[in-house]
Every structure is written in structure tokens, then in C-alpha cells.
Amino acid sequence: TSELDFVAVRRSAEPAAATAERSMAGLRDEHGRQRSRIAAGRPEAVARQHKLGKLTARERLDLLLDVGSFVEVDLYRRGTTGAHTDGVVAGSGTVDGRRVFVYAQDFTISGGSLGAAHAAKIQKVMDLAVSTGSPIVALNDSGGARIQEGVLALHGYGGIFRRQVAASGVVPQIAVVLGPSAGGAAYSPALADFTFMVRDTAQMYLTGPDVVAQVTGERVSHADLGGADVHGSRSGVASFVHDDEPSCLAGVRELLSLLPSNNLEPPPALPACGASTDHRPRLAEIVPVEPNKPYDIRSVLAEVVDDGDYLEVHEHWARNVVCALARVDGRVVGVVGNQPVVLAGVLDIAASQKAARFVRFCDAFGIPLVSLVDVPGFLPGTEQELGGAIRHGAKLLYAYCEATVPRVQVILRKAYGGAYIVMDSRSVGTDLSLAWPTNEIAVMGAEGAVNLLHRRELAAAEDPARLRAALVADYRSELMHPYHAAEHGLVDDVIDPVETRAAIARGLAVLRDKRAETPRRKHGNAPL
Ligand code: HXC
């Protein structure tokens, strides 16, 4: 088919000038018609794409970009498919007036498969994105490496991956998976800073269900192996999951509105809204004083940020930690909060990975960090330990330790043990540590500490329960009282909860011009 297509497209693209008398009007006319024809695509292939529940590459770009802002490159580029564009629409446009570089794979041309010309186009826009300091948005809908092109297709992927890594931390990279993204091709979204997926139509896996069945005998559906829900809630591969393409592309626009264009520019700010004097009585009602009673950290988050508005990253994965982009007094911040309603807010493998990647993103792009701490520790158990909880927990520790952006820590309630240290404590370099009068910072909770320190006395006691209660009370009043850490300068201030938003806003304003010099090195060796 592709050979026939090739011939057909070549014929239809023969310049009119070759046969008719040359005139500017005629050339312009033919030029216009040819462009429209290429952009319209083959009607039956477009119909099939729509039947699959998917939009075309150009319809997607229309939804993503400001109206009329798309500037295409390489429309005429041809590769082995013979079709113009070679199955990827590439160029730049604006989102809320800010430039972005984009490419949208066109499934209607050889399944959006990637060959040498297709890859060269992608690489061209990636290079332009980096040299102009603009985000890259990739709309993926592809059967992967174009089989007929063999090693040239693989080489094309490699060149994209290398550019993605070189652009990492320089310009934001957003991958949007809107169809298949199979095999090694899935590594392109994996290397992006954020990955969006659409329910029902998007799939990502290294090997599809057929290969899985052949190799392991396991029978699994496309959706269960690589659908948006499994990647959004189980594997953590998808940072955002949407029901349909329009809401997904609107989500990309929203995310872009919170990101800087590159690592040398600040994120777009809105006018200050008086946060530094904003008292929020509700904050005193949300968090129960009892350390083990759950509440939703997102209600605290909503009180702290402007208009209660925030964009949660990985909303459905590792829900025991919440990572969100929001604004405080008009300026973008990244918020990391322990979530007491899920697993009591413990840190585990997934939560550490999720928060570490978020912290590193914010740091790379100059987004200040606010950490809302209420954490009982790391999740115990063989599953965690044998799964490498130490290695993964170290990622979060590493991420905070190396972050040089302004950092504000707010200890709402519990902060025990290693998890206290990791959650942006003074020792790992927070710039401003605030605590509520409900804070409890200790090596471990009072009950556990007393059981460990007084095992023999408790075993010998006539009334162990009474002794335990007395010892717990002593421990609390000596080591866990709310001013203990502040007395040692490890907390800068104990604040009235209703002043949290104001205190964070003031702290961020003070830290705005923070400069941090780090010694020269090739790169650190984060525990990946
Ligand atoms: C060439 C391809 C292609 C590919 C699809 N097509 N994938 N052509 N190379 N990789 C073509 C089909 O032949 C077909 O052409 C058209 O695209 C539409 O594909 P269909 O199969 O009809 O569509 P659909 O039924 O929707 O199935 C989509 C699909 C399936 C699930 C993606 O096409 C598929 O399994 N493709 C192969 C996936 C794969 O194994 N890719 C290699 C992965 S390895 P016509 O002419 O009929 O319209 C890889 C390595 C990357 O990518 C390495 C990076 C390091």
C-alpha cells in the first residue's frame, strides 16, 4: 500500500506549472491547493482515526495551541511512506501567547510509525526548542519504529532520546500519549518531565499483550497492560490521566501556564493578591490535634494557595503524598504534602519516587518548594524493604538535599524519624522551617519510644498500662512538646495555623532572591 500511496501522492503533487503556463497566480493557486490537500489527509484514513475515537494530528494541535498560531516546518518532507510530512506534523505555536515547540504523530500515515525522515523532523523542532528556550510538547500516536526502515528507525529514536536528555532541566518537556506508544518508543514519554494519557485510546508498553502471551503465557488486555488507568494509578508512568482528548489538551495548556519556558526564566507570575496578610480561620479546624486522626491534606493545601487552585501531579498514584503546582501571592510554587488519609501519610517506595521526581523538576526550573509535613515515618515490612525502600527513600532525600530553590517547610503535626529529616528538615537545607503548635517532632512516636526505652520496667510493673501512660506523658512533655525544636533553632517559628498562608507568602518573598553556588562537578550520583 505504501508504494501505491507514494506514487499517488507524487502524481497529485506534480506542480501545475509543469503542464500549464507558468504564472504567479497559477503557482500560488496550486501551492494553496496542495497545502490544503496535504493537511486534509486521506479521507478514509481520517474517518478510521475518528472511528477509533481519536482526533487527527492537526485537530489536536488546534486544541492545544492558540488559534491560528501554528507555524509548521517540513510539511513537504517525505520519507519511505512517500506521503508528505512522513507521518508527523511539526512546528511551533503559542499557548496563552507563549511559544512552544510541538510535534504530533499522524496515525493516518503508516500508523504514525517513526522512520528516519519522521525522526529528523522531531529532532529539528527539539533543537529549535532548546535554542529558543521553549517547552516541547510531543503528541504521541504511533506504531513505533517503522519496521521497513530497520536500524534507521531505531537510530532515529536514539537521536530523540539523546536530545531529550540534553534538554532535561533546560526546557520543560511534556509528552501526551493519545494512541499506541509501544516498544522502545515508550521511552520518549518516560524521559519527559510530565506524561499525559487519555483513557480508552492511549496505551504504553514495552511489549504488547500478544508478546506477553507468547513469552510468559499470561493473558492480559491492552488496557490492563498499558492503559491510562494502570499507568496513572499503578506504575506511575502517567502523571495526568484524562477522559478525552479535548480535556487532556486543555490540561496540557493549564500545566504550561504554571511552568517557565526554560530554566533561566521564572514561571509566569500573576499579580500579588495580598496573601502575606491573609488569615484563614478554617486552617485551625481542618487538622485534628490527635496525631493519628486522618484529614485530607488537600484541604490545607487549598487554604494555603491562591484561590484554592492547584494542579495535582500523579493524583492517582502514591496518593500518600500529594505533589501539586499552585500559586502563592501570584507566584508559582511546588507543594509536597504528606497525605494522612492514605496509608496514614507514610512514605513508601512509590511516594518517595513520586515526590523525588517532583522536587527535582521544581528545582531544575526554579520553582520554590513548600513542604507540608505530617508524616509518621516510612512504611515498614518485607515488601518495602525487599523492594528497595532504602534506595528509593534515598531518592527523595537526595532531591531535597540538592535543591537550591527557595524552600519552606511547615510541620503541621507528626514528623518522626527519618521521614522528618527527609521532608525538607533544617538539616537537609530548608530555608524556612515553620511549625504549628500541634507539631510533634521525634525519633519515633511516644508509644513506640516508651515501649522500646522502658521494656524491662514495663514488664516488671504491677500496672503496666498506668506506668506506660505516665512514661508517654513524660516523653511527650520533654521531647515532643511543640517548642522543643524551635528552642534548638531547628524550627524558625511556631506559628498560629490561621497564619500559615501569610507566613508562607512572607517567607517566599524574603527568599525570592536566594542565590546558591554549588561546587563544580560533572554531576552527582543520585540513587536512581
Ligand atoms: C510500519 C506500521 C507500524 C510500524 C503500524 N503500522 N505500526 N508500519 N511500522 N511499526 C501501519 C500498519 O501496517 C497499518 O498500515 C497502519 O500503520 C495502521 O496500523 P493498524 O495495525 O491497521 O492499526 P491498529 O489496528 O489500530 O493497530 C495499531 C498498532 C499495530 C497496535 C500500533 O499497528 C501494531 O501492533 N503495530 C506494530 C507495533 C510494534 O510492534 N512496533 C514496533 C515496536 S518496537 P496500513 O498501510 O494498513 O494502513 C519499537 C522499537 C523502538 O518501536 C526502539 C526505540 C529504542
pLDDT interval class at 183 (50, 70, 90): confident
Tell me if residue 17 is catalytic.
no
Please name which of 273, 343, 360 lies closest in space to residue 309, comparing C-alpha atoms.
Answer: 273
- Same-domain check for residues 293 and 223: no
CB 190 within 8 A of CB 218: no
- Same-domain check for residues 284 and 237: no
- Same-domain check for residues 405 and 472: no
pLDDT tens digit sequence for 60-118: 999 999 999 999 999 999 999 999 999 999 999 999 999 999 999 999 999 999 999 99
* Domain of residue 84, residue span: 38-257
Instruction: Return the minimum-mean-pLDDT range out of 333-337, 405-409, 439-443, 497-501.
Output: 439-443
519 found inside a domain: no
Could you say which of 201, 225, 257 is where a domain stops? 257
CA 332 to chain centre: 15
pLDDT interval class at 355 (50, 70, 90): very high
397 found inside a domain: yes
Largest CA distance in the chain: 112
Catalytic option among 183, 227, 337, 393: 183
Q: How far is the CA of 154 from the centre of ligand 1 (A)?
A: 14
Position 6 pLDDT exceeds 80: no
Decide: 143 in ligand 1 pocket, CB within 6 A. yes
Catalytic option among 175, 238, 403, 419: 419
Residue 228 pLDDT:
97
Position 251 pLDDT exceeds 90: yes
SS3 for 318-383, per residue?
A: CCCEEEEEEEECCEEEEEEEECCCCHHHCECHHHHHHHHHHHHHHHHCCCCEEEEEEECCECCCHH
Position 13 pLDDT exceeds 60: no
Position 223 pLDDT exceeds 80: yes
pLDDT interval class at 479 (50, 70, 90): confident
Burial 16-29 (b: 16+ CB within 10 A, else e): beeeeeeeeeeeee
Tell me the CATH number at 344.
Answer: 3.90.226.10
DSSP string over 124-183: HHHHHHHHHT--EEEEEEE-SB-GGGHHHHHHHHHHHHHHHHHHTTTS-EEEEEEEEEEG
365 found inside a domain: yes
Tally the residues of the chain.
528
Find the mean pLDDT for residues 143-150.
95
Position 333 pLDDT exceeds 80: yes
Position 2 pLDDT exceeds 80: no
8 found inside a domain: no
22 found inside a domain: no
- Radius of gyration of the chain from its Cα atoms, rounded to whole angstroms: 27
Mean pLDDT score across all residues of the chain: 94
Position 436 pLDDT exceeds 90: yes
- Same-domain check for residues 124 and 212: yes
Tell me if residue 53 is catalytic.
no
522 found inside a domain: no
Decide: 180 in ligand 1 pocket, CB within 6 A. yes
* 2 Cα nearest atom in ligand 1: 46
Residues 6+ apart with CB under 8 A from 147: 113, 153
Catalytic option among 169, 236, 418, 429: 418
Position 468 pLDDT exceeds 90: yes
- Same-domain check for residues 299 and 427: yes
Q: How far is the CA of 214 from the centre of ligand 1 (A)?
A: 18
Q: How far is the CA of 114 from the centre of ligand 1 (A)?
A: 10
Find the mean pLDDT for residues 278-299.
96
Q: How far is the CA of 263 from the centre of ligand 1 (A)?
A: 36
- Same-domain check for residues 440 and 450: no
- Same-domain check for residues 207 and 247: yes
Q: How far is the CA of 347 from the centre of ligand 1 (A)?
A: 40
Tell me if residue 489 is catalytic.
no
Instruction: Please give the Cα distance from 490 to 494 (Å, whole number).
Output: 11
Position 7 pLDDT exceeds 50: no
Decide: 365 in ligand 1 pocket, CB within 6 A. no
H-only helix segments in 52-115: 57-64
- Same-domain check for residues 242 and 301: no
Q: Output the pTM of the full model.
A: 0.94
Decide: 152 in ligand 1 pocket, CB within 6 A. no
* 158 Cα nearest atom in ligand 1: 55
- Same-domain check for residues 363 and 379: yes
Q: If you take atom 16 of ligand 1, which residue's CA is the nearest one?
A: 111
Position 17 pLDDT exceeds 90: no
pLDDT interval class at 12 (50, 70, 90): low
Q: Domains in the chain: how many in total?
A: 3
Position 470 pLDDT exceeds 70: yes
Position 184 pLDDT exceeds 80: no
223 found inside a domain: yes
Residue 8 pLDDT:
47
Find the mean pLDDT for residues 347-375.
98
Q: If you take atom 37 of ligand 1, which residue's CA is the nearest one?
A: 143
- Same-domain check for residues 370 and 496: yes
- Same-domain check for residues 414 and 472: no
Position 20 pLDDT exceeds 90: no
Decide: 209 in ligand 1 pocket, CB within 6 A. no
pLDDT tens digit sequence for 157-174: 999 999 999 999 999 999
17 found inside a domain: no
Q: Please, which residues bridge with residue 105 across strands?
A: 88
Q: How far is the CA of 348 from the centre of ligand 1 (A)?
A: 38
Percent of the chain with pLDDT over 70: 96
Tell me if residue 419 is catalytic.
yes
- Same-domain check for residues 309 and 242: no
